Amino acid sequence: MLYPLKFKTVYKDKIWGGDKIRRILNKDFSPLPNCGETWEISGIEPSCSVVSNGFLAGNTLNELIEVYMGDLVGEKVFDVFGEEFPLLIKFIDAKEDLSIQVHPNDKMARQKHHANGKTEMWYIVDADPDARLNIGFHIPVNRQTVQKHMLNNSLETILRYIPIETGDAVFIPAGCVHAIGKGVLLAEIQQSSDITYRLYDYNRKDEQGNFRQLHIDDALDAINYQDTENHLITYSKQINTTSSIISNPCFATNYLHINKPTEKMYIHIDSFVIYICVSGKARIVYDKGEESMQAGECVLMPAAIESAVIVPNTECALLETYIP
Mean pLDDT by 10 residues, the chain (324 residues): 97 94 96 96 97 98 98 98 98 97 97 96 98 97 96 94 97 98 98 96 80 92 95 96 97 98 96 98 96 98 98 96 98
Return d(Cα 59, Cα 82) in angstroms, integer. 18
The span from the CA of 45 to the CA of 50, in Å, is 11
The pLDDT value recorded for residue 245 is: 98
Please give the Cα distance from 36 to 18 (Å, whole number).
6
Residue 4, in any domain of the structure? no
Instruction: Indicate if 118 and 205 belong to the same structural domain.
Output: yes
Say if residue 224 is in the same domain as residue 264: no
Who's near 14: CB < 8 A, 6+ residues apart? 34, 35, 36, 37
Q: Same domain, yes or no, for 228 and 293? A: no
Out of 233, 263, 288, pick the residue that ends a domain: 233
pLDDT of residue 206: 72
Select from 310, 308, 309, 301 the least CA-distant residue to 270. 301
| C-alpha–C-alpha distance, residues 300 and 274, integer Å | 4
> HSE on the CB side for 130, CA within 13 Å?
4
Q: Residue 162 pairs with which residues in a beta bridge?
A: 133
- Burial, 125: exposed, middle or buried (Cβ in 10 Å; 0-12, 13-18, 19+)? buried
- Note whether 85 and 65 are within 8 A (CB): yes
Q: Examine residue 1 and state whether it is found in any structural domain, yes or no.
A: no
Asked whether residue 2 is domain-assigned, the answer is: no
**Pair 52, 191 in one domain:** yes
Task: Identify whether residues 28 and 127 lie together within a single domain.
Answer: yes
Question: What's the total number of domains in the chain?
Answer: 2
Domain range for 48 is 10-233
Same domain membership, residue 276 and residue 306: yes
For residues 203 and 259, state if they share a domain. no
Q: Which amino acid is at 285?
A: V
Burial class (CB in 10 A: 0-12, 13-18, 19+), 183: buried
- Which of 201, 233, 265 corresponds to the end of one domain? 233
Q: Compute CA distances 56 → 5, 143, 321, whole Å.
A: 9, 50, 22
Beta bridge partners of 298: 276
| Pair (92, 220) in one structural domain | yes
Gap between the Cα atoms of 190 and 104, Å rounded: 13
Measured CA to CA, the distance from residue 205 to residue 29 in angstroms comes to 24
CATH number for the domain spanning 108: value is: 2.60.120.10
Q: Does residue 113 sit in the same domain as residue 81?
A: yes
Residue 62, pLDDT score? 98
pTM of the predicted protein model: 0.96
- In a shared domain, residues 227 and 290: no
Q: Are 78 and 177 part of one and the same domain?
A: yes
Alpha-carbon gap, residue 185 to 216, rounded angstroms: 28
Amino acid at the residue 42: S
Query: What does the pLDDT read at residue 203?
Result: 83
Choose the final residue of a domain: 183, 204, 233.
233
Q: Is residue 45 domain-shared with residue 120, that is, in the same domain?
A: yes
In a domain, 128, yes or no: yes
Domain contains 5: no
Return the exposure string of 126-148: e unless at least 16 CB atoms fall within 10 Å of the residue's CB, then b. Answer: bbbeebbbbbbbeeebeeeebbe
Q: Enumerate residues 6+ apart whose C-beta is below 8 A from 319.
A: 123, 187, 189, 245, 253, 254, 255, 256, 275, 276, 278
